[in-house]
Chains A and B, each alone.
Chain A
Amino acid sequence: MSDDPLKPLLDAVGIDEAHVGPAEMNTLAKRITAASEAFILFPTLAPGLADDQQRPPDYFEIHDREWWIDARGPAGREYLTTLITAAAISDAFGLDHTLTWLAAVLPTMVTVTDARVDEHGTHLTLRRQHAPALPAELADEIHPQDFADLAEALANVAGEVPLPAGGTLTFIDD
């Protein structure tokens, strides 16, 4: 089991952890998902960027500012790990949920315990939570049936699931 499942993924693509911007996200996306556009867009849509880069909460805008993720600290690493997990599960199961939705609910359902990269692709090991419940802080935004449907789909997986971009997801239980 790895303490830092993100490290082998970043090492494999040679990304500077201090500045994971659109180009770096694109490189990373190709190792994880066939839907790289949604992956790259995610940081511009969901909270988690450093300092004052956050997208505006209450308006649409077109601007010329840059954005990047600082993945040196635990918050940035957790953010990226969650996004990678969401994109991988979305691809593996052919889900139509947004990555924003998946990134919100998946931490209550699975934990990445290990990651490695080889010539076949990216391999993630995910430990399932037993009987996950919709947390109170998500109750206003997540429809309970959607939550239950995904929890059931994940619970019913046995063994390895191939990733369309190459690699596997392996589900384990406590």
Chain B
Amino acid sequence: MTEHLARLCMDGAGSAGQYTPHAFDLRLLGTDQATDHIVYAHEVHHAGLNDVTAWGSALHVYARLPDAEGLFATLLNACRTVHESLATFASVQIATARHGPLDTALAAYPQYVPLYRSVERLTAQVEGANRRQQIVNVLARLCMQTPIIEAVLAAGLAEFRLADLRERDRPDARWALFLRRGPELLAATARIADQALLAEHGEEALNSDGLESDLYVATDRSHDAAWDYWEAAAYEHLRAALVAAGGITLPINGHQEGTSRLVDVTRQEHGDLGIRAAMTDEQRSSDAELAESVLQQVRIRHSGDLRHRAVTMPSIPVDEMVDLMNGRPVVDDRPAMIVDVRSADRLVDLYEWDPASTPPRVAVRLFVDTDDGEAVGHLGLAQPAELAQLAERWGDRGPFIVCAGASCLADTEFSQQWLTTAPQPVFLLVDIEPGRFARLWAGENRSVVAVGVEVEDTSGRREALLFTADEGKVWWCVVADDVTVRFMIEYLSAHLGSAFRVDPAAFDPIRQQTVAVLTHVLATESFTSFDALRSPRVR
């Protein structure tokens, strides 16, 4: 899996991130791409490690069980060093491969320097950037592949306690054991895995990971099978060392059957909490599946640590709305009228609403000063007829755009009412998992044209992806950063094949509307995420 994550994070292309088994939040400043990539890859590795290990499965369950906050926090603390060590080392390695030596990359994150140094020391005798990355990944998985699922099933979900597991069967204690053993064990393991790989796959992959090679070269798709073989060989060698120390360690994918039973038991006792079975080998080896997994879990904040405040404004006649927006140049010295359409649930997630407000699903937004400071004011539109009237009165003053959340399409009656008569092109903000529309388009053999857009202003650099499956009547729009855009492209390409193409020429006809929408979304939307329909998160 390491090579897939590395490739997806590196290709193309003071931030911060947080991870829970529900999702990960990113606050990317957009001012230093290398730092943003470290933060992004850091959180992706947390998600990746939990999705392929027994301890991670237990975390997924206890994060969602009612009244289990205490035990969840205890389990999280018992693997914090493993998680942070892997995420820190791997993310810096990936960013280094993409951006060159990063002497000061971790200076902004002083808490993580000792973690990085400890892994650097541990892997110092392993040759090749990719093999260092691989063996840290192996080590982390080994530490997390403990008998915790069996212990939970034996004790019962509610009765299980961390005390049911010996210290040597807890992730951070295992990590401590390997730190104490020092770099020789890992170096010997790497040599044995090298021999296994040579015998099975020849020397091509190994040669791609020499002293002078970088991670980007070694993680080429053509080497996937070879590195997976290397990873499995290294895992078994280190597993034997743990067994000799008395630890009970599952095979590399030994968590899958137990996870399935754990999910079943959880479902029987608590219903559907949104937990799925562990990823299969095939899923772990697919860039598209990994991209989907990341997209289901990521949330990119546009408003810093806090959501925007929002208020509902007293309704005013359409003519007054026109007057209000007319004096505000947005693109090419012209104003723009943007009507936002969002689902009720999404509006609650997106904003910190004034308690007296009833969020309007269709509204014109503008920043207003309130007694509690600046807020995103919402001027609601009550009827589709008002939308038509507003468009007519706006005329050709500047772009008139309906910008709707894609999740609104789930409410067929509502979307028919508001969107079918809206002026085209309609912009649909992608706030749902790509699987919900890409698989449908693939089944209908639709041609999809996409265009990437870079947005750079004083607040930093962002990227967007726009794509249409109906020759420009509706433009689907992802407003995020370069890594998220790359994950989305990877996913769409994999599912649509040659029907998906990126065409920069498609930008010109929609340039004015696009600039207006992107500026508007970045300024007024608190975050971008793809979970508006709250589907179960991927495991």
Contacts and interface: CB of A to CB of B under 8 A. Distances in A.
A94 B72 CA distance: 30
Nearest to A59: B20
B17 A61 contact: yes
B19 A59 contact: yes
A50 B39 CA distance: 26
A44 interface: yes
A59 B72 CA distance: 10
B505 interface: no
Interface in B238-263: 245
A60 B18 contact: yes
Interface stretch (B168-176, B266-274, B449-457): B168-176
Nearest to A101: B167
B80 A60 contact: yes
Contacts of B77: 45, 57, 100
B509 interface: no
B328 interface: no
B172 A98 contact: yes
Contact-size category for B: 35 or more
B46 to A, nearest CB: 5
A140 B163 contact: yes
A58 B176 contact: no
B72 A141 contact: no
Contacts of A22: 110-111, 113-114
Contacts of A55: 80
Main secondary structure of the interface of A (DSSP, over half): loop
Nearest to A40: B114
B46 A60 contact: yes
Contacts of A96: 167-168, 173-174, 176-177, 180, 245
A41 B180 contact: no
Given A22-B110, A61-B17, A63-B16, A146 B167 contact: yes
A97 B176 contact: yes
A172 B19 CA distance: 46
Contacts of B112: 62
Nearest to B172: A98
Interface string B168-190: 10101110110110000000000
Contacts of B14: 64
A117 interface: no
Contacts of B16: 61-64
B376 interface: no
A14 interface: no
B76 interface: yes
A7 to B, nearest CB: 26
B72 A62 contact: no
Contact of B163 (A41, A44, A144): A144
B81 A45 contact: yes
B120 to A, nearest CB: 10
A62 B173 contact: no
- Residue from A94, A140, A144 having most chain B Cβ neighbours under 10 A: A140
A56 B18 contact: yes
B165 interface: yes
B404 to A, nearest CB: 32
Interface string B106-119: 00111111110110
A59 B113 CA distance: 19
Given A22-B114, A98-B81, A143 B166 contact: yes
A27 to B, nearest CB: 13
A37 B74 contact: no
A100 B42 contact: no
Given A141-B74, A143-B164, A35 B81 contact: no
B448 interface: no
A146 to B, nearest CB: 5
A77 B189 CA distance: 42
Contact of B84 (A40, A60, A101): A60
Contacts of B167: 96-98, 101, 143, 146
Interface string A146-174: 10000000000000000000000000000
Contacts of A35: 179-180
- Residue from A40, A44, A96, A142 having most chain B Cβ neighbours under 10 A: A96
Contacts of B164: 143
A101 B162 CA distance: 12
B299 to A, nearest CB: 12
B73 A140 contact: no
Contact of A37 (B42, B117, B165, B245): B117
Nearest to A66: B110
Interface string A47-58: 000000001111
B83 interface: yes
Nearest to B72: A58
B114 A37 contact: yes
A65 interface: yes
Contacts of B72: 58
A11 B115 CA distance: 27
Contacts of A66: 110-111
Contacts of B17: 61-62
A37 B111 contact: no
Contact of A38 (B74, B111, B165, B176): B176
A45 B117 contact: no
Contacts of A41: 81, 114-115, 118
Interface in B211-241: none
Interface of A: 22, 35, 37-38, 40-41, 44-45, 55-67, 94, 96-101, 139-146
- Which 3 A-B residue pairings sit nearest by Cβ, starting from the closest? A37-B118, A96-B177, A61-B18
Given A45-B77, A96-B177, A141-B163, 7 more contacts: A37-B121, A62-B16, A64-B14, A97-B173, A98-B172, A99-B176, A141-B161
Interface of B: 14, 16-20, 38-39, 42-43, 46, 69, 72-74, 76-77, 80-81, 83-84, 87-88, 108-115, 117-118, 121, 161-168, 170, 172-174, 176-177, 179-180, 245
8 contacts: A37-B179, A60-B46, A96-B180, A98-B172, A98-B173, A99-B176, A100-B77, A140-B74
